[in-house]
Amino acid sequence: MSKNDKSKLMISLDSVDKLKWSTELGKRLQSLRGDIPMRTLADKVNNNGVTCTYQYIHKLEVGKAEAVSTDLIVAICNALDADFKQLFPAVYIDPSELLAILQKNVA
């Protein structure tokens, strides 16, 4: 795969240490958080066994983080009762799209 290759690759989230973060993801996180105070969210994440501060949540929401651990992202999603794909929809491949990719690679 070249740097410019936009092919999709399926890999277990357990095998990924960090994911690239962006301003768009920060806005999505802020939307998912809604009216929940950042301190409350940080406390919920910490109660899930992952260290997080409200300052770091702010950093995420304004897009200042470059890469975020998958453990933290999963803990934030759990604290928000949100599915991982609500925050990272690009990580998931539609089954029909997967079939098209497989057929293309077999041909």
On whether the pTM is more than 0.85, the answer is no
Does the structure show a pLDDT above 60 at 91?
no
Among candidates 23, 39, 21, 29, which has minimal Cα distance to 80? 29
83-95 mean pLDDT: 73
Helix (H, G, I), strand (E, B) or coil at 78: helix
CA distances from 24 to 65, 81, 103, 105 (A): 12, 20, 32, 31
pLDDT at 11: 60
Q: What is the pLDDT of residues 17-66, one digit of tens each?
A: 778 899 999 999 999 999 999 999 999 999 989 999 999 999 999 999 98
85-96 mean pLDDT: 70
87: number of Cβ within 10 Å: 19
Q: What is the mean pLDDT of the chain?
A: 82
